[in-house]
Structure formats: C-alpha cells, structure tokens
Structure 1
Amino acid sequence: MTEKIGIVGAGIVGLAVARELAAARGAEVTVLEKEERVGVHQTGHNSGVVHAGIYYQPGSLKARLCREGVALLKEYCAAHGLPYDEVGKLVVASTRAERPQLRALAERARANGVPGIAELDALGLREIEPHAVGVAAVHSPHTAVCDFPAVARRLAQDVAELGGSVRLSHPVRAIRERAGRVEVLAGRRGFAFDRLVVCAGLGTDAVARMAGAPGEVRIVPFKGEFYALQGAAKDLVRGLIYPVPDPRYPFLGVHLTRQIGGEVLVGPNAVLALAYEAYDGRGFRDAGRILGWPGTLRMARTHWRTGIRETYGSLVKGAFVRGARRYVPELTAADLVRAPGGVRAQAVARDGRLVDDFVADVQGRVVLVRNAPSPAATSSLAIARHIAGIVPALVR
C-alpha cells in the first residue's frame, strides 16, 4: 500500500520534503499551501545567500545540514540550469576588540568543514573588496547566492513529475487523528493521510494548535528591513560583506549582499513584529498571541537595549546608513533606497531563550518543523533528508 503523506507549506523546505518523500519513499505526497503560489513568505523574502556554514555550533543540526545542503543545492542548481554564483563573503572586524571573535569564527568555520577559509589583515581584505575597510576579516570564497524562489518552483515541478500534487489556495483549517489516519480540512476539501509533515514557517503555531501539539516553543516574528544600492554605488560591493556577529543572537547584523542579477542589498535588521506577515507595515493583528507567549516578554526584558537600537535603525535611515558605512565608508544616504523586506520566523522558548538550532519533533502521526530559520533555505535539501528519516514509516 502506497503511503499518503501530506505536507503543510509550499516554501522551499516543505517542497524539498515533499520531493524527498516521493523520490526516496515512493510516497504519494500532497502539499497544502494557503497562498496562490509557492515560496511566498520566507523563501521569497530573503537576500538569496547560500551560507557556507561559518557561524553554526559544530555538531549542531544547523552546522551539519548546512554543509550537506550547500553541496546538494549547488548540484541541484547545476542539474536544472538555475543560477548559482560563488561571489564569496568577507566577515569584517571593524575594531581590534572584534578580532578575538573573528578568530573564533574562523576556527568554527574550519571545524564545520567550510573550504577555503582565510584570515586577512586590513590590506588583504581590500584585495577582495577594494572599497571595504576594517582591521581584519575572514574570507569564505565559496559562499554563494542563488534564486531561492526559482528553486522552490523547480521543486514543485519535481513533486508533480513524481506523481504528487501541490494544492495552492488551500489553507489548513482543521486537523485531527482518527482511526490511524490524519484528517485535514484545507480550503473546502477534506484529505486523509497516513502522515502529516508541518513546514508552515510563520504559520507553525496555528497549525500546531490544530494538531493538538502546541509545544514548548512559539514562533516570534522579526521584521527584516532592507535598502538597495542604486546607481554607481552598486560597484562598491563585489560580493558579500558581513559584520562580526553578536554570539548572543541568531541574527547576523546589517550586511551588504550582491544578488543574482547584480542588485546589492543592505540589511536586514531584526525588529520584533506584532503580526506574522508584517511585510507592508507594523500591523498589530497578531499582538495578542505574540505577546501572550511568556517567552516573548522574557526575551524582551533580557534584550531590550538591542531592541531599542534595532527599532531606532528602522525608524531613522541615517542609523541604517551609518551601519553600512562602517564597512563601506564611500556610501551616502542618497545611495540607499528602500527595498522589500521580510519576516523571520524565530522560535522562542518559554524562558525567553532564542532557539538557535533547527528543531523538529514527532507527535503521533504528525511531524512538526518547529524552528527552521536561516540557513534553512541553504539547507533545504538536507533538511528534507533529515525529516524523511524521522517520518515514521507506514506500518503494514
């Protein structure tokens, strides 16, 4: 008997999981997506960076699946003629005080097996990025950029070719387990599956509640705002220029990213949002649920100074510009224009801890991906293999 497996969410992770289950297990897969097209949310609202694995704790799922995912994604893009460009990344220490953390970052990257890592002095970093400044840098020559929405569309095509289906405009409204099946009401239709995998990103909490498995973490959304360089300013950046990250946070700080097609983004910041899909403003429609989670207020009490700084950078363009000029001092306010932003789905524990690693668990016949922030897009094909390995096989 062929397994019937449902997947909630047609972002890059959900589609990769569907493709893996269909290809490796021969399952009949159905992807349920509330939007009218695939890859609408985090997949379609990011800078397109294929992370090499520099930042992540050695031995963590992020470290392992990022390194595996890079290789799989590069191969997949080549096989399907999708753009993939190893533009390289500099992580720049702008002060001497940042040098120990930069050195630790290089050691972590090597421990994770990131190839080609080099430690550079002030002159060496300018050979890579002539308009950048700093006292030292770590260079990752194989860090790349790609078009994640294009990858998602290709994955959806793969699912169809493997006999599965992607049901757009099918928001999940109810879930229940009964008689050894998972019954799902999506849109106006009912579905019955042997297993259900939830890859719902910003909608994770809502779907988990329907499944009767709210869990001990909740999604707290963070708005990420971008500017884009215009005119000749684009030529000031060859690849990717990043700051030394604050080890207390899973966010990487405002950076400069040359994208596929030649555009250069500046950002993102990380501002607490009170709506899960706060792309066009700072709406409050989900404030009750977000602030009602005890972890949100505990997180805010711990990190309020950082929150004020990030909010100030959101409201005052000059603060954003100063952050970029710290690394590329030739930039001016006139060089930066607003660009579309995104919203990051970040899991926060009850005690206020920002959950750093990927998290997935099994509740009965439902597998829930609880936390899949960056580098989830980079890692998507490897995450899919990992999830396929924890989806219980159908007992015959």
Structure 2
Amino acid sequence: MNLALKQRLFHTNSRLSSDFSHIVIGGGIVGIATAAELQEQKGNKVLLVEKHSALGQETTSRNSEVIHAGLYYPPQSLKAKLCIEGKNKIYDAWSTYGLDLQKCGKWVVAQNEQEQEYLVKLEKNAKSLNVPVKFISTSMARKKYPLIKASSAILESPTTGIISAHEYVMFHQGRFENNEGTLGLNTKVKNICYNKSFLNYSVTMETMGEKEEKEEIEITGDNVVNAGGLFAAEIANMILPKDQHYNYYFAKGNYFSYTPEKPIDCKITDKLIYPCPNPNASSLGTHLTFDLGGQLRFGPDLEWLNTTNPNDIDYTPNPQNLEAAYNAIKTYLPAITQNDLAPSYSGVRPKILSPEQSKNQFADFIIREQNGFPGFVNLLGIESPGLTAAWAIAEHIKHIYHQ
C-alpha cells in the first residue's frame, strides 16, 4: 500500500494515538527486512518509507550479491555475529521457501609465503567463529580449474554463496505486506522531531502523488528506525544536537564485466575467487564473482570519494580504474587480458571511518538506540556484509525494542 495514495494521516499529540508503532526510514534490504520483522510482532503497526518508486534501488541493487560466510570479521564484532546469523537464515529460507540462490563456495588464494600466513590466520579466525573452512591442494585445484593461479595455498569457504538481491528484497516485501504493513514509496523524510512530553516522534515527509504533485505531511510514531543507508548520517543529524552529529565517508566500488577476446576452452571456475586482502585496504580486494546466470564479473575495487553528500555521488564506473583492476585480477587469473574487461557498474559503501582511520581500525556496524532519544534506533556504516546480515540485523533491532 503506497502512503502517497492513502488518505492523509494527521499528526496526533499522544503516544496512545500515534499513527504508527514504528516508522522505518529507508527501503533497502536492511530497511525492508527490519520492517517485516517488526510488523510480524503482535500489536505493531509499521510504516516503511522509501524515497524511490521501488524498494532496493540504491546500495542494495549495486553490490556483488554474495552471501558472505563471515570468516573475516573479529569474533566479538556485530559484523561477525550478524553476518553468520543472517547467512544461516538465508539458507534456512532457501530450503523452506526456495529463495533464488546458489551455495557455490569460494576460494581465497595465496600467491606467496606472506599471503599463505594470512590464510593460516584467517582459518584460525573462521574456526573461532565456527565458520567452516578448509585448505585444499593447489595441485588438485590446478587440475580442476587450470586457469586459476594459486601459487602457495587455497582456503575454501563452502558456505559462501550468491543470491539475487532483487528477489531477496521481494521476499521480505512479501512478508511485510502479507502482514498488512504500510509501505510509503516516493516518500522523502524532511525532518524528525522528538516529542518529549508525549514520548513519540513527529516525522515530516514529502510525498509524490499520482500526478507527481508534492505534498508535505507529518506522521507520528512511537519509535523510529533509521535505515537510511547512504543517507543515514544525514537522517540521524536531523534530530541530534550538533555535538553528536555523525560524519560519513563514501567509498566507491567499481565492477567490471568479462567478455574474453579469445574463446576459452575450459571452465574458468564455479567457485568465487578472492585474493588475499591488502593489509592497508578497507575492502576484500577485486575478486571474481558471478551471477545466478553464470556471468562472470570482477569487483569491487576501492575508490574513496571526495564528497560527503550522497546526492553528489556519480555512479558511472570509473574507466581509469580498469588498469589497476586488471593488474589485481591477473594475479589469480593470468590468462586475462585488459581488453577482456569493461567498466560495468558501481556501488558506494557508507563508511564511518576516514580513509586514514580505515587503515588502522576495524569499522563495525553501528546499531543502537540513540542516547536521549528512546525508541530512535540508528543504523550506521551498514556496508558489506549488509545484504547477508540484513535479516539478522532486523532481529537484532527487534530485540533492542524488547529489552
């Protein structure tokens, strides 16, 4: 149900008569999963607002669609906990509901002794998290996929997979709407105000009607979830005092399509292929993935943007990054030529740490009820593995409200 097509909902000044129990801002995969989870709770009346005309149009639609196993993250981090829980929920739903996905597994490949030592540490971290991994023989790997180079070692992650991000969004949208949640598309949040006397929130929104007429409305909610993705810091800062404002940094990831100049006479791989990450980088390296149709692609790389305004982001993939991507890819796929690659699309990661800070610190998810604003839950820095973790993030938020 589109809020813009509903009868106008008027502001009320009592917690007992707020328009909604929860207002979820942002219709990416995390927002729709959260709205669906909250709407399933008896007595809740949830509104999900999204500024685009459909859900999942920004970060969700611009990622590699990988189901991450969770082996990279520190054991006590939210990223580790929620990635692993989210992965398990996806695979459980796969067996129950037939989600469109493939549990293909991945290889992390090492080309020298230093990288092999990294894989040993990665194996130890994965085992501490109960994430299944195993070393496999490089000679056996060469026989299976002769075009893939792994000079020193290969660590296999069997629970890594791929999923259709669009289908996963539709799955949670179905959960939400089947439980009579209210969906407000073409609806942009302009301001948020905490009504301290009534312990609720007034959210001012601009909606686009059937005739593309803009209308400003004010709606109240007992609770607000800020799942604004690239705009999450901006939304949080609408209500927070200036000394508590958040800063965001944006890191673009370019993806490259693969069309071989010369025919390939053997299968390249049916495993995702990841290089060992650069220790000073804030990403997992330019890796080989494929979609559910089997089409190979490479990415994302890492390109820090100068802007702090998400409205100024240019999503055109940067052709100047192609040579660096080629040099990274040929370390594990030597047969590739630069002409095999073409810029395809890009996505942008919302970062809570600057480029310099990211070299020395681990950036965990920030998911918390904002101090001084009861019921206002902020989600910041929700980058990879956000798609995998989305359902577990939703459950985490549900538990925040039931503490």
Classify the TM-score, shorter chain: 0.7 to 0.9
Which structure has the highest helix share of the two?
1
Question: Matches of residues 291-306 of structure 1 in structure 2 within 5 Å?
Answer: none
Q: Which residue of 2 aligns with 1:304?
A: none
Could you say what secondary structure the match of 1:171 adopts?
Answer: strand
Q: Deviations over 1:321-350 (max 9, x none)?
A: 121111011111221122111111111279
Q: 1:130 aligns with which of 146, 156, 161?
A: 146
Secondary structure at 1:388 match in 2: helix
For 1:372, give the aligned amino acid.
I
Are the equivalent residues in 2 in contact too, given 1:198–1:366 (CA < 8 A)?
yes
Offset of residue 388 of structure 1: 1.1
Report the Cα distance in structure 2 between the residues aligned to 1:57 and 1:127, rounded to whole angstroms. 34
Return 381-390 or 314-323, whichever deviates more.
Answer: 314-323
The structure with the largest alpha-carbon Rg is 2
How far residue 149 of structure 1 moved from its aligned partner, in angstroms, is 1.9
Corresponding residue number in structure 2 for 1:64: 81
Structure 1 position 210 matched with structure 2 position 217? no
List runs of 5+ in structure 2 lacking aligned partners.
1-15, 207-215
Give distance in 2, aligned partners of 1:346 and 1:172.
Answer: 22
- Tell me how far apart the structure 2 counterparts of residues 359 and 162 of structure 1 sit (CA, whole Å): 28
Counterpart of 1:322 in structure 2 is 327
Q: Which residue of 2 aligns with 1:308?
A: none
Query: What number of residue pairs does the alignment pair up?
Result: 362
8 Å CA contact 1:42, 1:201 repeated in 2: yes
Which residue number corresponds to residue 384 of structure 2?
374
Q: What whole-Å deviation, never above 9, does each CA across 1:14-67 have from its counterpart, x for those lacking one?
A: 111111111135411100111111001111000110001110111211111111
Change (3 A) 1:202 1:8: same
Tell me: CA distance 1:337–1:55, structure 2 relative to 1, closer, same or farther (3 Å): same
- 5 Å-filtered alignment, 1:141-156, equals 141-156=158-173
Whether 2:202 is the aligned partner of 1:183: answer yes
Percent of residue pairs bearing the same amino acid type: 28
RMSD of aligned alpha carbons: 2.3
2:251/2:303 contact within 8 Å kept: yes
Shift of 1:279: 4.2
| 1:391 aligns to 2:401 (yes or no) | yes
Letter in 2 for 1:174: N
Distance 1:218 1:177, change over 3 A: same
Listed as ranges, the matches of 1:84-163 within 5 Å are 84-115=101-132, 117-127=133-143, 129-134=145-150, 135-163=152-180
8 Å CA contact 1:346–1:373 kept in 2: the answer is yes
Superimposed CA distance per residue, residues 267-291 of structure 1 (whole angstroms, 9 cap, x where no aligned partner): 1111112252524349xxxxxxxxx
1:280 paired residue among 315, 340, 345:
315
- Out of 245, 252, 277, the position equivalent to 1:223 is 252
Q: What TM-score do the two structures reach when normalised by structure 2? A: 0.84
Which residue identity lines up with residue 211 of structure 1 in the other structure? I
5+ unaligned residues in a row in structure 1: which ranges? 283-310
**AA in 1 matched with 2:302:** A
Letter in 1 for 2:184: R
